[in-house]
Structure 1
Amino acid sequence: MARIDYFFSTISPFTYLAGNRLEEIAEAHGATVAYKPLDVTALYARTGGTPLPERHPSRQEYRLQDLRRRAALVGMPINLRPAHFPTNPAPSSYAIIAAQRSGGDVGPLVQAFLRAVWAEEKDIADDAVVRECLGNSGYDPTLADSGLLTGAETYSANLEEAVMRGVFGAPFYITEDDERFWGHDRLDDLEAHLDGKV
């Protein structure tokens, strides 16, 4: 069975705009998805990226226009200036790591956290929000309290793996044959690769 390693941040608007497209592609191609949440700010620092607050105003303005257009094109609601952004992505990432270890479909949980930030004005660093997202996605809300040390270690390891494998942004997809795709707008390219077209 093919595998797609999925590096992402739970506070990334472009990860949010990917929706469930990755999961649809994976299912259609009999592929599994390995979810690897990471600290995208730390990733930028390690790979030459510029954190959002440090970008030139013209780049920040363009980002907002691009997000508005992209959200409209995929039919997803988005608040361009959410009340709880930026926030600490670690608690939600630890919950995803714990959920993945427990089994089941992690995709809806990832999307629940992203939707909470970009469409629902919720703080995913808040324990109550983490529990709510877990419960609404079919997981035991107490997973928020389990394996915190393992979650922290895995979260850190995901960053190291990402740097080693050439990841520099989120979302980022890597196939078993080391084809790399950056951005939700490259999912069609990922699918074409899995189809043997590129």
Structure 2
Amino acid sequence: MAQIEYFLALQSPWVYLAGRRPAEIAALHGATLVYKPLDALALFPRTGGKVRADRHPSRVSYSAEDLARQARKLGVRMTADPLFRGANPAPAAYALIAAQAAGGGDLAGYVLAIGRAMWAEGKDISEDEVIHAALAENGFDPKVADRGMLMAAETYAGNLEEAVSKGVFGVPFFVTEGARFWGQDRLDDLEAHLAGA
């Protein structure tokens, strides 16, 4: 059985646009999808990238234009500049790690709920009530994040180191069977690889 390592940052609009598709592709091909949330703001400078604030204005404006285009294409509701864009994503990431370890719920649904909270509903994804609601909505005990906090914090830091060692430089990023795929617009390529095409 193939394993897909899914490196992601929950505040990323591109992860939000990926939606449930990574999980659907994994299920279609009998693969295991392993969520590996990480600190993208720490990843970028370590791998030659720049955080949004340090990018040239032409790159920032193109990214906004492309996000709007992709959201329309996918039929996804998205705010161009969410109210809590700078929210700390670590608590929501810790909850994802703890929920994955606990099992029994819908991880793809949780990731989508956190992205929707930020990019469509104007919510602060660092707040406990937002995280707990996303967990409960997707079949997890809302307190799973509280119980797994220490383990999750260690895993979160470890995911960053693992990502750097595997050549990951952005999110969403998928690593499987020695192949790497960057971006929600490469999910067709990931699916083709798993199909042996």
- On the 8 A contact 1:127/1:144 being kept in 2, the answer is no
Q: C-alpha separation between the residues in 1 aligned to 2:137 and 2:20?
A: 16
Q: What's 1:165 paired with?
A: 166
Matches within 5 A, 1:110-125: 110-125=111-126
Is contact 1:68–1:78 with CA below 8 Å preserved after alignment?
A: yes
Structure 2 CA distance for aligned equivalents of residues 17 and 178 of structure 1: 25
Q: Distance in 2 between matches of 1:69 and 1:48?
A: 26
The residue aligned with 1:55 is 55
Partner of 1:86: 86
Counting only pairs closer than 5 Å after superposition, residues 16-55 of structure 1 correspond to structure 2 as 16-55=16-55
Contact 1:2 1:31 in 2 (8 A): yes
**One-letter amino acid matched to 2:46:** R
Q: 2: CA distance between counterparts of 1:59 and 1:45?
A: 16
Structure 1 contact 8–38 (Cα < 8 Å) conserved: yes
Letter in 1 for 2:155: T
Report what 1:98 is aligned to. 98
Q: CA deviation at 1:107?
A: 1.1
CA distance in 2, matches of 1:151, 1:10: 14
The equivalent of 2:140 in structure 1 is 139
Specify the SS of the correspondent of 2:33: strand
Q: Is the 8 A contact 2:19 2:108 kept in 1?
A: no
Q: Who is 2:149 aligned against? A: 148
Deviation at 1:100, TM superposition (A): 0.4
**Given residue 66 of structure 2, which amino acid in structure 1 is its aligned partner?**
D
TM-score by length of 2: 0.98
What amino acid sits opposite 2:169 in the alignment?
A: F
What is the distance in 2 between the residues matched to 1:82 and 1:163? 29
Give the Cα–Cα distance (whole angstroms) in 1 for the partners of residues 169 and 23 of structure 2. 22
Deviation at 1:170, TM superposition (A): 0.2
Alignment length, in residue pairs? 196
Q: Any idea what the Cα deviations from partners look like across 1:63-121, whole Å, max 9, x if unmatched?
A: 11000000011110100100010210100000000100101331111111111111111
- Superposed displacement of residue 137, structure 1: 1.1
Structure 1 length as normaliser, TM-score?
0.97
- Distance in 1 between residues matched to 2:112 and 2:178, nearest whole Å: 25
Task: Give the aligned residue type for 2:157.
Answer: S
Secondary structure (helix, strand or coil) at the match of 2:82 reads coil
The whole-number CA distance in structure 2 between the counterparts of 1:108 and 1:37 is 15
Residue 144 of structure 1 and its aligned partner are, at CA, apart by 2.6
Instruction: Give unpaired runs (5+ residues) of structure 2.
Output: none
Residues 29 and 194 in structure 1, CA contact (< 8 A), matched pair in contact too: yes
Question: Which secondary structure state, in structure 2, belongs to the residue aligned with residue 187 of structure 1?
Answer: helix
Task: Give deviations 1:39-66, integer Å, cap 9, x for gaps.
Answer: 0000002111100011111111101100
* SS class of match (2:64): helix
**In the alignment, does 2:6 pair up with 1:6?**
yes
